[in-house]
Structure 1
Amino acid sequence: MKNKIAVMLAISLTISCKSTSQVAGSPIDKKATKETVALYKNLFKAKEKGYMFGHQDALAYGVEWKYEEGRSDIKDVTGDYPAVYGWDLGGIENKAEKQIDGIPFDKQTDFVRQVYDRGGVNTFSWHSDNPLSGKNAWDNPEGTVASILPGGAHHEKFKGWMDNAAQYLLTLKGSDGKLVPVLYRPFHEFTGNWFWWCKNTTTPEQFKALWKFTVEYFESKGVHNLIYVYNTSDSNVQTEADFMEYYPGDEWVDIVSFDIYQGGSGEKQVKFVNDTKRLVAIIDKVAKDHNKLAAIAETGYEAVPDSKWWTGTLTEAIGDKKISYVLLWRNHGWNEGMTPPRMHYYAPYKGQQSADDFVKFYNKGNTLFQKEVTKLKLYK
């Protein structure tokens, strides 16, 4: 009963605070910075030309290299950078020196600046520790979300974590001194069952209340450089109704997206293509109906053992729908921490068996990389 009261209080506090009207093509934050507004509007224009290619941690490291100035595996293969660059806030809750992937936060800040300066797009997720148990993001006992909503036992603790994140987000500035706009993807992959915010331990009402609290709290701290990305996994999403079950409302979301990975060849490849096609059709319809952008926020095939995966499988799976971007997960390289230990990467590097096909993918008329988006002047 206590949790239910906390949820209802949170909902009543947030619903009344934000206008339900939203101008199409404008971000939900009415006080968004000039550059954030420009980025959001220009992303609508960019998708008419094609979809942007993204890569997680692209500038920090790749297969068999780390922290080499100006390098990325994508650039090694194509001579060009990605258009979208993924980063993470994980660790900021505890004021850690390094984020969850081991990148020092000060280095990450510099990478974000480089991306903005060259006209690329930065996106962040947050693999936050569990505020209830104190363990990592993958520890998911029931009741965590309820405990951090207004009235919950750990609400003040969570606010402190949000303060740390807000302080960091406000340090992200370009060489022009302006705040860098960020595509922020909170509580990602919530339709799965692996994170503490996932639907197996969280009701739709709790999730919506947490989402709304997050938006309003960041705004109250002066964070007006975020574009908010609603993100499911492929798990438990068969229909539009499944996708929208936890949707907090048009006045709270800027981009709709999903994450999906290919788990193998043969039938698993067929499943990946069919599932991706279905989900792309869903987000395309939702985006059109609700005046939002749509994206595949994470995808990939570990070690890319298919030499034609880019122009074959991935291209077929996306089809002709006008999504904003597709982001591949990180190129860690050899990973002793995995079971079994193995090469862990999702984008090609120079000499990798799918590299030649990736160059063909790069040269397609509807794939956008850094050089194309630089010309679009997304922040003007």
Structure 2
Amino acid sequence: HTVSPVNPNAQQTTKAVMNWLAHLPNRTENRVLSGAFGGYSHDTFSMAEADRIRSAAGQSPAIYGCDYARGWLETANIEDSIDVSCNSDLISYWKNGGIPQISLHLANPAFQSGHFKTPITNDQYKKILDSSTVEGKRLNAMLSKIADGLQELENQGVPVLFRPLHEMNGEWFWWGLTSYNQKDNERISLYKQLYKKIYHYMTDTRGLDHLLWVYSPDANRDFKTDFYPGASYVDIVGLDAYFQDAYSINGYDQLTALNKPFAFTEVGPQTANDSFDYSLFINAIKQKYPKTIYFLAWNDEWSPAVNKGASALYHDSWTLNKGEIWNGDSLTPIVE
């Protein structure tokens, strides 16, 4: 059976990658793509993390992440927080056998200069959703720059794991909850409207047909599926999971019940002190989270390169690394 992207007009390569990813759990080995975060564009993004992983593990990550929206950084004009200069590296990564993931630590359109972590009221949220307001125009200016960057990748035939509005069930991003594990049904509805607005803008208005849409709540908060915008808006579901015990990550059963391919879209130690053992994580995937199709480990102190078990993680029989996705011009064979 063929698993297609939610965008019916998806490019052929994007369709092929989606179907290939969805079939990975049917394999007996070579079934979980390794991944690493390369940093925030125009601040820390570089190929240095890939180099560190290669030095520590002897392999390169199959998936490499960039964040287009450096919202932590205050800028005089909010659209200047968007930077797509990682594109050239992502294009090279794709051409050399990897797949890019793009996330968005979006600046807060309620303010001219970002205020990335400032909570907003639901009334402010509504203004952001309204294209006729100052706040709505700020959002649209950012989305336009993001779409321009994504268009460059589409022009080069590069499919993208596109992961907007992540960790929405946490209380630290403006698009998510405002209080720890306090359900807010109006906020959940507004989030879904925002996600769908971004989906329709990228897909319909801008005609971007190379995106695989990734929904990724936080593992350490409740309401993981409450924000789910619907099966017709999401290709892959995942968890952003920072933990000490790889065998007790919350949310796998809830997310896999959505019947979409599942990934650990961010992973790392909850306490980053260089003592985390990533070999336990791949073992936990095999024993407890076997539907996992990829993981993306965060950089800096969360990275496998500065913790334990990097080589075991990257050399496990289940792990697929850069250069192991394709046979020549074809994806490696699918197991039905």
Shorter-chain TM-score bucket reads 0.7 to 0.9
CA distance in 1, matches of 2:61, 2:263: 15
Q: Does 2:130 match 1:150?
A: yes
Contact 1:59 1:70 in 2 (8 A): no
Contact 1:284 1:323 in 2 (8 A): no
Query: Which amino acid is the alignment partner of residue 165 of structure 1?
Result: I
Residue equivalent to 1:371: 323
Q: Does 2:17 match 1:48?
A: no
CA distance in 2, matches of 1:226, 1:207: 20
Residue equivalent to 1:359: 311
CA distance in 2, matches of 1:73, 1:48: 31
Where has structure 1 moved over 6 Å in runs of 4 or more? Answer: none
SS in 1 for 2:162: strand
Alignment CA distance shift 1:164-1:365 (3 Å)? same
- Cα drift, residue 328 of structure 1: 0.5
CA distance in 2, matches of 1:78, 1:192: 32
Residue equivalent to 1:138: 117
Q: Deviations over 1:185-209 (max 9, x none)?
A: 1110000000100123762211111
Contact 1:53 1:325 in 2 (8 A): yes
Contact 2:40 2:67 in 1 (8 A): no
CA distance in 2, matches of 1:113, 1:312: 32
Residue equivalent to 1:328: 297
- Cα drift, residue 95 of structure 1: 5.0
When normalised by structure 2's length, the TM-score is 0.82
Residue equivalent to 1:206: 190
Contact 1:56 1:327 in 2 (8 A): yes
Q: How does 1:44-123 map to 2 (within 5 A)?
A: 44-49=22-27, 50-57=31-38, 72-91=51-70, 94=78, 96=80, 99=83, 105-106=84-85, 108-123=86-101
Query: Which amino acid is the alignment partner of residue 303 of structure 2?
Result: A
Contact 2:128 2:136 in 1 (8 A): yes
Contact 2:163 2:214 in 1 (8 A): yes
Contact 1:232 1:257 in 2 (8 A): yes
Query: Which amino acid is the alignment partner of residue 372 of structure 1?
Result: E
Query: Which amino acid is the alignment partner of residue 204 of structure 1?
Result: I
Alignment CA distance shift 1:28-1:68 (3 Å)? closer
- Cα drift, residue 32 of structure 1: 1.3
CA distance in 1, matches of 2:255, 2:198: 23
Q: Deviations over 1:45-73 (max 9, x none)?
A: 2343321111000799xxxx995789611
Gaps of at least 5 residues in structure 2 are 72-76, 179-183
Residue equivalent to 2:163: 185
- Cα drift, residue 27 of structure 1: 0.8
Q: Does 2:241 match 1:273?
A: no
Contact 2:40 2:70 in 1 (8 A): no
- Cα drift, residue 138 of structure 1: 1.5
Q: Deviations over 1:211-266 (max 9, x none)?
A: 111111112112221111111012332xxxx322111111111111111212xxxx
Alignment CA distance shift 1:299-1:193 (3 Å)? same
Alignment CA distance shift 1:42-1:128 (3 Å)? same
User: Identity of aligned pairs, percent?
Assistant: 23
Alignment CA distance shift 1:170-1:361 (3 Å)? same
CA distance in 2, matches of 1:312, 1:94: 41
Alignment CA distance shift 1:88-1:293 (3 Å)? same
SS in 2 for 1:172: helix
Alignment CA distance shift 1:110-1:323 (3 Å)? same
Kindly report the root-mean-square deviation, in angstroms, between the aligned alpha carbons of the 2 structures.
3.1
- Cα drift, residue 159 of structure 1: 1.7
Alignment CA distance shift 1:194-1:375 (3 Å)? same
CA distance in 1, matches of 2:324, 2:92: 16
Q: How does 1:303-318 map to 2 (within 5 A)?
A: 303=272, 305-306=274-275, 309-313=277-281, 315-316=283-284
Q: Does 2:296 match 1:296?
A: no
Question: Number of residues paired by the alignment?
Answer: 311
Please identify the structure whose Cα radius of gyration is greater.
1
CA distance in 2, matches of 1:321, 1:231: 18
Contact 2:263 2:292 in 1 (8 A): yes
Q: Deviations over 1:251-286 (max 9, x none)?
A: 111111111212xxxxxx34x632x1x422222232
Q: How does 1:217-296 map to 2 (within 5 A)?
A: 217-219=201-203, 220-237=205-222, 242-262=223-243, 269-270=244-245, 273-274=247-248, 276=249, 278-287=250-259, 292-296=260-264
CA distance in 2, matches of 1:166, 1:122: 15
Alignment CA distance shift 1:24-1:145 (3 Å)? farther
Alignment CA distance shift 1:346-1:142 (3 Å)? same
